[in-house]
Structure 1
Amino acid sequence: MAELFDDRLPETARRGRGSAVNPAGRYERLTTESFDDGWPAGEEAAPLRTSVSVDASRSILARNTSPDVPFDRSINPYRGCEHGCVYCFARPTHAHLGLSPGLDFETRLVIKPRAPDLLEQALRRPGYDCRPIAIGTNTDPYQPIERDHRIMRRILEVLEAYRHPVTITTKGAAITDDLDVLGRMGRAGLARVTVSLTTLDPRVSRAMEPRAAAPGRRIAAIRALARAGVPVGVNIAPVVPGLTCHELEKLMEAGAEAGASFAAWIALRLPMEVSGLFREWLERAFPDRAAKIMGRVREMHGGRDYDPAWGRRLTGEGVHARLIARRFEVARDRLGLGRRPSPLRCELFSPPPRAGDQLALF
């Protein structure tokens, strides 16, 4: 990990970002390295700006057969995420674009403006089998650039027109911009939202997920969604042992008080490049606790930074993992939070008629 420590960007350049480094993706043949050439540093480095490019994909529904996730199809309106959560398990996907899972992931974003049109094409295919579409399972659909591009909004408008069920996971307060559509869909049994909570400590949140909504704004979003008639739950994710695990019950209580009706939790996951990025951040943000936290993480993943095995990757194993799971179960039952949310309605799916379609005789 020394190369990560030796290649940090100046603080002025990375202010407001989760990662401090930008290591090459695992598919790259060449790497770069900063070095001191002996010349005076001169002016402070300018802050990194977010750049946006357009994705040219010709399909939008991603399929999966993972046995430990409750959906088989999903949509990702954006690639990369400006929230900058240093723990994000989606960071390694940026390597497929020839970009770094580090700072590139949170500053070089890709948008899918054709997503609503591609979705309509998929939903109109003969024999389409309606099941809930999950959004927010990789990168957040309500990251800051959504307010500029409104791709998620247009996707929701398509899904409402087709009466198609959707589940959304987010830590973005911008979801309240779509309360009108989500309220109608939620009351019809067509939409469900899960808000991710990590900590109630603004200092920890700012360090760990610098451009995500502050804890209080996420709680306010839960309250607004519940009042609009949208079934909403909380996902305590990720639970970071030794850093945020002591807040488990408080987070669940805050969610329940705001109107959440179900809850879940997920252990910290550090796949591929995320491991090095998280360890670099931990030494920089919480050096006094870094060794203890990583010791607990490895205890929960069989002695490794991460165990990708199905059935263990989301919850971990061992004494500490069992203790967190038991605490969660006790708090969930005490607060009256459901084990599983109510199923969404797939039988209402009906593609709307288009101009020029032949009218039915009966």
Structure 2
Amino acid sequence: MLPPRPLYAQKGRGAVSNVQGRYEVNGRESFDDGWEHEEECPKVWRTHVTEETAKSILTRNQSPDIPFAVSLNPYRGCEHGCIYCFARPSHSYLGLSPGLDFESKLYAKVNAPELLRSELSKPGYTVEPIALGVNTDAYQPCEREYRLTRRVLEVLKECDHPVGLITKSSLIERDIDILAPMAERHLAAASITITTLDPKIARTLEPRAAAPARRLRAIRTLTEAGIPVGVSIAPIIPFVTEPEIEKVMEAARDAGAIMANYVVLRLPWEVSPLFQQWLEAHFPDRAQRVMNRVREMRGGKDYDASFGTRMHGEGIWADLIRQRVEKARDRLGLGGPGMRFRTLDCASFRRPIVVPPLGARARAAQAAGQMDLF
């Protein structure tokens, strides 16, 4: 039998294949039968956005190793195509691949602002800062058209509700007119993810996100507008982005960042084979070395989801990374993870006014020009 067909990187896409989701019943395996060559007739993966009406919009968690308990994601799937994205396996629940499907078959929760308004108006609602765009980037390219993130921010501003945003897109600058007044009242903070300063690596690692230099400019622009900004070095990939830890932190500090956080590469579920395919396509000379180091920090496995260690790993190499980050923080005068998020104001919240939809009789009276008694 002929060997499997080689995998080829596609311009503008992070994944190099469409691996099966873990819930699929039938298995598929590609092989080269000699009739077709991928390099001669590559398939073009165009982005398609499906509008969906969500049933709920706020996600709550009790994880002890993240600084927020409530998050909101206006989109499912992410066109940025970051190969390391921990959210990729969520596409398996939709019967789609966490690979190329995740970054090309997207879902927009078109009723997200209305659902949020309804949630905030409930008598029993308890105010906690909402993390916006945690699972998938709230400022990915389709936000330019759908503007769901902006409309969500408008609801939060109206209610004086605290929000923290994390993104790797410069599109966040569009919403400075909303975020700056909120930040002035301690209601908003932002974090920009920068994994590398090398545009060549970034182009394959996170192909449709803003370039590293553009993200640094976004940090400066937000800072100058009075919005507190941190840098998220996530993930740190051994022998790929790991050598740049201190350089990234210094560049972010110089741009105006006041805090820094990091996460060591996480490879849950289908992310592991996808990442290893990416390594073979882009860094074949060090692929095995990278995975050996990852496993050293994960107890010999590709990933360990245990609280307390899943974000930073364990062992000598994980400890060395932690020390490098902490020493750089001290030298550069940067705060630690979640510093600003935990100090957002939760006391100024005002419940939104929700106008119930008119019934058939009320609509008829309104059309006839009659005034409503109530």
TM category (shorter chain) comes to over 0.9
Residue aligning to 2:54: 57
Alpha-carbon deviations, 1:42-66, whole Å to 9, x = none? 9733421001112232110011111
Residues 183 and 228 of structure 2 are in contact (CA less than 8 Å); yes or no, is this contact kept in structure 1? yes
Which of 276, 281, 284 is the matching residue for 2:278? 281
Residues 88 and 102 of structure 2 are in contact (CA less than 8 Å); yes or no, is this contact kept in structure 1? yes
Residues 74 and 134 of structure 1 are in contact (CA less than 8 Å); yes or no, is this contact kept in structure 2? yes
| Superposition CA RMSD, Å | 1.8
Structure 1 residues 355, 280: CA separation in 2 closer, same or farther (over 3 Å shift)?
Answer: closer
Which of 96, 100, 103 is the matching residue for 1:99? 96
Residue aligning to 1:359: none
How far off is 1:32 after superposition?
Answer: 3.5
The answer to whether the aligner puts 1:185 opposite 2:197 as a matched pair is no
Unaligned runs of 5+ in 2: 357-374
The answer to whether the aligner puts 1:207 opposite 2:188 as a matched pair is no
How far off is 1:267 after superposition?
Answer: 0.4
Residue aligning to 2:21: 25
Distance 1:130 1:28 in 2: 39
Residues 4 and 32 of structure 2 are in contact (CA less than 8 Å); yes or no, is this contact kept in structure 1? no
Residue aligning to 1:264: 261
Distance 2:285 2:33 in 1: 33
The answer to whether the aligner puts 1:79 opposite 2:76 as a matched pair is yes
Residue aligning to 1:311: 308
Unaligned runs of 5+ in 1: 357-362
Alignment of 1:141-156 (within 5 A): 141-156=138-153
Distance 2:163 2:36 in 1: 55
How far off is 1:10 after superposition?
Answer: 5.7
The answer to whether the aligner puts 1:194 opposite 2:194 as a matched pair is no
Structure 1 residues 124, 106: CA separation in 2 closer, same or farther (over 3 Å shift)?
Answer: same
SS in 2 for 1:350: coil
Residue aligning to 1:347: 347
Alpha-carbon deviations, 1:296-331, whole Å to 9, x = none? 111111111111100000000111111111111111
How far off is 1:127 after superposition?
Answer: 1.7
The answer to whether the aligner puts 1:229 opposite 2:231 as a matched pair is no
Aligned length, in residue pairs:
350
Letter in structure 2 aligned against 1:113: V
Which of 126, 129, 132 is the matching residue for 1:132? 129
Structure 1 residues 147, 109: CA separation in 2 closer, same or farther (over 3 Å shift)?
Answer: same
How far off is 1:9 after superposition?
Answer: 6.4
Name which structure has the greater RCO, CA cutoff 8 Å, separation 6+. Answer: 2
TM-score normalised by structure 2 residue count = 0.90
Structure 1 residues 40, 293: CA separation in 2 closer, same or farther (over 3 Å shift)?
Answer: closer
Residue aligning to 2:4: 6
Alpha-carbon deviations, 1:198-249, whole Å to 9, x = none? 0000011111111111100110110011111111100111001111111111
SS in 2 for 1:62: strand
Letter in structure 1 aligned against 2:208: R
Identical aligned residues as a percent:
54
Q: Over alpha carbons, which structure has the higher Rg?
A: 2
The answer to whether the aligner puts 1:44 opposite 2:41 as a matched pair is yes
Distance 1:326 1:78 in 2: 36
Letter in structure 1 aligned against 2:350: S
SS in 1 for 2:139: coil
TM-score normalised by structure 1 residue count = 0.93
SS in 1 for 2:71: strand
Distance 1:192 1:105 in 2: 28
